[in-house]
Amino acid sequence: MIDTHAHIYATEFDHDRDEVVQRAKAQGIEAILLPNIDLASIEPMLKTEAAYPELCRSMMGLHPCHVDGNVKQTLAVIESWLDKHPFIAIGEIGIDLYWDKTFQAEQEMAFVTQLNWAKERNLPVVIHTRDSITQTLQLLEKEQDGSLSGVFHCFGGTLEEAKAINELGFHLGIGGVSTFKNGGMDKVLPHLDMNFVLLETDCPYLAPVPHRGKRNEPAYTTLVAKRIAELTELSLVEVNNITNTNANSLFKL
Protein backbone atom coordinates (compact mmCIF):
# COMPACT_ATOMS: atom_id res chain seq x y z
CA MET A 1 0.00 0.00 0.00
CA ILE A 2 1.12 3.54 -0.75
CA ASP A 3 -0.02 6.65 1.12
CA THR A 4 0.19 9.16 -1.73
CA HIS A 5 -0.45 12.25 0.42
CA ALA A 6 0.84 12.61 3.97
CA HIS A 7 2.20 15.53 5.99
CA ILE A 8 4.13 13.46 8.55
CA TYR A 9 6.71 16.24 8.72
CA ALA A 10 4.08 18.46 10.44
CA THR A 11 4.54 19.49 14.08
CA GLU A 12 1.63 17.21 15.05
CA PHE A 13 4.07 14.29 14.62
CA ASP A 14 7.13 15.79 16.31
CA HIS A 15 6.67 13.79 19.53
CA ASP A 16 6.16 10.32 17.98
CA ARG A 17 7.19 10.33 14.31
CA ASP A 18 9.25 7.13 14.66
CA GLU A 19 6.29 5.27 16.14
CA VAL A 20 4.01 6.59 13.38
CA VAL A 21 6.43 5.30 10.73
CA GLN A 22 6.73 1.91 12.46
CA ARG A 23 2.93 1.57 12.62
CA ALA A 24 2.74 2.39 8.91
CA LYS A 25 5.30 -0.30 8.10
CA ALA A 26 3.43 -2.79 10.28
CA GLN A 27 0.29 -2.12 8.22
CA GLY A 28 2.15 -2.81 4.97
CA ILE A 29 2.71 0.79 3.86
CA GLU A 30 5.53 0.67 1.30
CA ALA A 31 5.82 4.40 0.53
CA ILE A 32 4.69 7.71 2.02
CA LEU A 33 4.60 10.67 -0.35
CA LEU A 34 5.14 14.11 1.18
CA PRO A 35 3.55 17.18 -0.45
CA ASN A 36 5.09 20.58 0.27
CA ILE A 37 2.93 23.46 1.54
CA ASP A 38 4.98 26.67 1.71
CA LEU A 39 8.52 27.92 2.35
CA ALA A 40 8.42 26.99 6.05
CA SER A 41 7.51 23.36 5.35
CA ILE A 42 10.48 22.64 3.06
CA GLU A 43 13.09 22.03 5.78
CA PRO A 44 11.00 19.70 7.99
CA MET A 45 9.76 17.84 4.90
CA LEU A 46 13.28 17.20 3.57
CA LYS A 47 14.51 16.23 7.05
CA THR A 48 11.70 13.68 7.31
CA GLU A 49 12.52 12.29 3.87
CA ALA A 50 16.19 11.98 4.85
CA ALA A 51 15.29 10.24 8.13
CA TYR A 52 13.17 7.59 6.37
CA PRO A 53 14.67 7.26 2.87
CA GLU A 54 13.26 3.76 2.41
CA LEU A 55 9.71 5.07 2.78
CA CYS A 56 9.38 8.84 2.19
CA ARG A 57 9.53 10.78 -1.07
CA SER A 58 9.08 14.55 -1.33
CA MET A 59 7.23 16.86 -3.72
CA MET A 60 7.75 20.58 -4.25
CA GLY A 61 5.05 23.20 -4.69
CA LEU A 62 3.09 26.06 -3.14
CA HIS A 63 -0.31 25.28 -1.58
CA PRO A 64 -3.05 27.72 -2.66
CA CYS A 65 -3.89 28.67 0.95
CA HIS A 66 -0.36 30.07 1.24
CA VAL A 67 -0.60 32.28 -1.83
CA ASP A 68 -0.55 36.01 -1.00
CA GLY A 69 0.63 39.32 -2.41
CA ASN A 70 4.25 38.10 -2.39
CA VAL A 71 3.46 35.07 -4.52
CA LYS A 72 6.00 35.82 -7.27
CA GLN A 73 8.90 35.95 -4.81
CA THR A 74 7.67 32.82 -3.05
CA LEU A 75 7.35 30.93 -6.34
CA ALA A 76 10.89 31.94 -7.30
CA VAL A 77 12.25 30.32 -4.13
CA ILE A 78 10.06 27.22 -4.57
CA GLU A 79 11.21 26.82 -8.18
CA SER A 80 14.87 27.16 -7.20
CA TRP A 81 14.48 24.02 -5.08
CA LEU A 82 13.60 22.00 -8.17
CA ASP A 83 17.22 22.34 -9.31
CA LYS A 84 18.68 21.46 -5.90
CA HIS A 85 16.91 18.23 -5.00
CA PRO A 86 15.09 15.38 -6.79
CA PHE A 87 11.31 15.58 -6.29
CA ILE A 88 8.68 13.08 -7.44
CA ALA A 89 5.99 15.67 -8.23
CA ILE A 90 4.94 19.31 -8.22
CA GLY A 91 2.59 19.67 -5.27
CA GLU A 92 0.55 20.40 -3.65
CA ILE A 93 -0.84 23.10 -5.91
CA GLY A 94 -4.30 24.28 -6.92
CA ILE A 95 -7.10 26.67 -6.01
CA ASP A 96 -8.88 26.99 -2.65
CA LEU A 97 -11.78 29.43 -2.36
CA TYR A 98 -13.25 27.98 0.83
CA TRP A 99 -11.86 30.44 3.37
CA ASP A 100 -11.01 33.47 1.30
CA LYS A 101 -11.28 34.66 -2.30
CA THR A 102 -8.98 37.69 -1.80
CA PHE A 103 -6.09 36.17 -3.72
CA GLN A 104 -8.04 34.17 -6.30
CA ALA A 105 -6.21 35.79 -9.25
CA GLU A 106 -2.85 35.11 -7.58
CA GLN A 107 -3.89 31.51 -6.83
CA GLU A 108 -4.80 30.96 -10.48
CA MET A 109 -1.52 32.48 -11.64
CA ALA A 110 0.46 30.31 -9.19
CA PHE A 111 -1.43 27.21 -10.33
CA VAL A 112 -0.71 27.79 -14.02
CA THR A 113 2.93 28.70 -13.29
CA GLN A 114 3.44 25.44 -11.41
CA LEU A 115 1.64 23.41 -14.10
CA ASN A 116 4.23 24.79 -16.51
CA TRP A 117 7.06 23.68 -14.21
CA ALA A 118 5.58 20.19 -14.36
CA LYS A 119 5.52 20.28 -18.16
CA GLU A 120 9.12 21.51 -18.36
CA ARG A 121 10.37 18.84 -15.95
CA ASN A 122 8.06 15.99 -16.95
CA LEU A 123 6.69 15.64 -13.41
CA PRO A 124 3.15 14.81 -12.27
CA VAL A 125 1.16 17.39 -10.29
CA VAL A 126 -0.75 16.94 -7.04
CA ILE A 127 -3.81 19.18 -7.05
CA HIS A 128 -5.67 20.64 -4.07
CA THR A 129 -9.10 22.01 -4.92
CA ARG A 130 -11.74 23.28 -2.52
CA ASP A 131 -14.89 25.14 -3.60
CA SER A 132 -13.08 25.61 -6.92
CA ILE A 133 -13.52 22.49 -9.05
CA THR A 134 -14.98 24.46 -11.99
CA GLN A 135 -12.14 27.02 -12.07
CA THR A 136 -9.50 24.31 -11.57
CA LEU A 137 -10.83 22.12 -14.38
CA GLN A 138 -11.12 25.10 -16.76
CA LEU A 139 -7.49 26.10 -16.20
CA LEU A 140 -6.29 22.50 -16.42
CA GLU A 141 -8.17 21.96 -19.67
CA LYS A 142 -6.46 25.01 -21.17
CA GLU A 143 -3.02 23.83 -20.04
CA GLN A 144 -3.41 20.11 -20.85
CA ASP A 145 -1.39 19.52 -24.01
CA GLY A 146 -1.10 15.80 -23.37
CA SER A 147 2.01 16.13 -21.22
CA LEU A 148 0.33 16.84 -17.87
CA SER A 149 -0.50 14.05 -15.44
CA GLY A 150 -1.32 13.95 -11.75
CA VAL A 151 -3.96 13.51 -9.10
CA PHE A 152 -6.81 15.50 -7.59
CA HIS A 153 -6.01 14.72 -3.99
CA CYS A 154 -8.67 14.24 -1.33
CA PHE A 155 -11.39 13.74 -3.93
CA GLY A 156 -14.92 14.04 -2.57
CA GLY A 157 -16.86 15.21 -5.59
CA THR A 158 -19.55 13.86 -7.90
CA LEU A 159 -19.28 11.08 -10.47
CA GLU A 160 -19.52 13.72 -13.22
CA GLU A 161 -16.55 15.59 -11.71
CA ALA A 162 -14.61 12.33 -11.42
CA LYS A 163 -15.23 11.57 -15.09
CA ALA A 164 -14.15 15.09 -16.12
CA ILE A 165 -10.93 14.66 -14.11
CA ASN A 166 -10.26 11.23 -15.63
CA GLU A 167 -10.92 12.55 -19.15
CA LEU A 168 -8.07 15.01 -18.61
CA GLY A 169 -5.86 12.03 -17.73
CA PHE A 170 -5.84 12.70 -13.99
CA HIS A 171 -6.17 10.36 -11.03
CA LEU A 172 -8.36 10.64 -7.92
CA GLY A 173 -6.85 10.53 -4.43
CA ILE A 174 -9.28 8.73 -2.13
CA GLY A 175 -8.90 9.24 1.62
CA GLY A 176 -10.78 9.32 4.90
CA VAL A 177 -13.84 11.12 3.48
CA SER A 178 -14.75 7.81 1.80
CA THR A 179 -15.47 6.36 5.26
CA PHE A 180 -17.69 9.24 6.47
CA LYS A 181 -21.38 8.44 6.80
CA ASN A 182 -22.47 11.65 5.07
CA GLY A 183 -19.41 12.00 2.82
CA GLY A 184 -21.39 10.94 -0.25
CA MET A 185 -18.60 8.73 -1.55
CA ASP A 186 -20.66 5.55 -1.12
CA LYS A 187 -22.67 6.71 -4.16
CA VAL A 188 -19.59 7.56 -6.22
CA LEU A 189 -16.88 5.01 -5.41
CA PRO A 190 -18.60 1.92 -6.87
CA HIS A 191 -18.69 3.64 -10.29
CA LEU A 192 -15.12 4.98 -10.43
CA ASP A 193 -12.57 3.69 -12.93
CA MET A 194 -10.15 1.95 -10.55
CA ASN A 195 -7.27 2.56 -12.97
CA PHE A 196 -7.41 6.20 -11.83
CA VAL A 197 -7.69 5.63 -8.06
CA LEU A 198 -4.92 6.30 -5.52
CA LEU A 199 -4.94 5.79 -1.74
CA GLU A 200 -4.07 8.66 0.60
CA THR A 201 -4.54 9.91 4.15
CA ASP A 202 -3.81 13.68 4.02
CA CYS A 203 -2.61 13.15 7.58
CA PRO A 204 -2.74 14.69 10.14
CA TYR A 205 -6.14 15.75 8.72
CA LEU A 206 -9.31 13.84 7.76
CA ALA A 207 -8.81 10.66 9.76
CA PRO A 208 -11.07 7.83 8.59
CA VAL A 209 -13.76 6.24 10.75
CA PRO A 210 -13.36 5.06 13.55
CA HIS A 211 -10.65 7.70 14.18
CA ARG A 212 -12.59 10.64 12.73
CA GLY A 213 -11.79 13.89 14.53
CA LYS A 214 -8.45 12.59 15.81
CA ARG A 215 -5.00 12.86 14.28
CA ASN A 216 -4.71 10.88 11.05
CA GLU A 217 -1.60 8.85 10.15
CA PRO A 218 -0.32 6.70 7.24
CA ALA A 219 -1.22 3.40 8.96
CA TYR A 220 -4.88 4.35 8.46
CA THR A 221 -4.45 4.02 4.67
CA THR A 222 -5.58 0.43 5.32
CA LEU A 223 -9.00 1.67 6.48
CA VAL A 224 -9.43 3.60 3.23
CA ALA A 225 -8.44 0.55 1.18
CA LYS A 226 -10.94 -1.59 3.12
CA ARG A 227 -13.71 0.94 2.47
CA ILE A 228 -12.94 0.97 -1.26
CA ALA A 229 -12.97 -2.84 -1.27
CA GLU A 230 -16.38 -2.87 0.44
CA LEU A 231 -17.92 -0.39 -1.98
CA THR A 232 -16.43 -1.83 -5.18
CA GLU A 233 -16.78 -5.51 -4.24
CA LEU A 234 -13.10 -6.02 -4.97
CA SER A 235 -10.87 -7.89 -2.54
CA LEU A 236 -8.48 -5.90 -0.34
CA VAL A 237 -5.57 -7.51 -2.22
CA GLU A 238 -7.04 -6.34 -5.54
CA VAL A 239 -7.50 -2.78 -4.25
CA ASN A 240 -3.92 -2.72 -2.97
CA ASN A 241 -2.50 -4.14 -6.21
CA ILE A 242 -4.45 -1.76 -8.46
CA THR A 243 -3.71 1.38 -6.43
CA ASN A 244 -0.03 0.41 -6.01
CA THR A 245 0.30 -0.02 -9.78
CA ASN A 246 -1.39 3.36 -10.33
CA ALA A 247 0.87 5.16 -7.82
CA ASN A 248 4.06 3.50 -9.07
CA SER A 249 3.20 4.41 -12.64
CA LEU A 250 2.20 8.02 -11.93
CA PHE A 251 5.04 8.92 -9.57
CA LYS A 252 7.68 6.60 -11.13
CA LEU A 253 8.42 5.13 -7.69
Residue 100 annotated as part of some ligand binding site: no
Contact 60, 52 (CB under 8 A): no
Looking at residue 144, its pLDDT comes to: 98
Per-residue pLDDT of the chain (253 residues; tens, 9 = 90+): 999 999 999 999 999 999 999 999 999 999 999 999 999 999 999 999 999 999 999 999 999 999 999 999 999 999 999 999 999 999 999 999 998 899 999 999 999 999 999 999 999 999 999 999 999 999 999 999 999 999 999 999 999 999 999 999 999 999 999 999 988 999 999 999 999 999 999 999 999 999 999 999 999 999 999 999 999 999 999 999 999 999 999 999 9
Contact 196, 214 (CB under 8 A): no
Residue 128 annotated as part of some ligand binding site: yes
| Cα atoms found within 13 Å of the Cα of residue 23, Cβ hemisphere only | 14
Residue 202 annotated as part of some ligand binding site: yes
What is the CATH topology of the domain spanning 2-251?
TIM Barrel (3.20.20)
Peptide bond into 204 cis (omega under 30): yes
Residue 171 annotated as part of some ligand binding site: no
- Classify residue 84 by burial, with Cβ atoms within 10 Å: 0-12, 13-18, 19+: exposed
Spatial distance between the Cα atoms of 140 and 36, rounded to a whole number of angstroms: 20
- The residues near 18 (Cβ < 8 Å, ≥ 6 apart) are none
The model carries a pTM of 0.97
Residue ranges per structural domain of the chain: 2-251
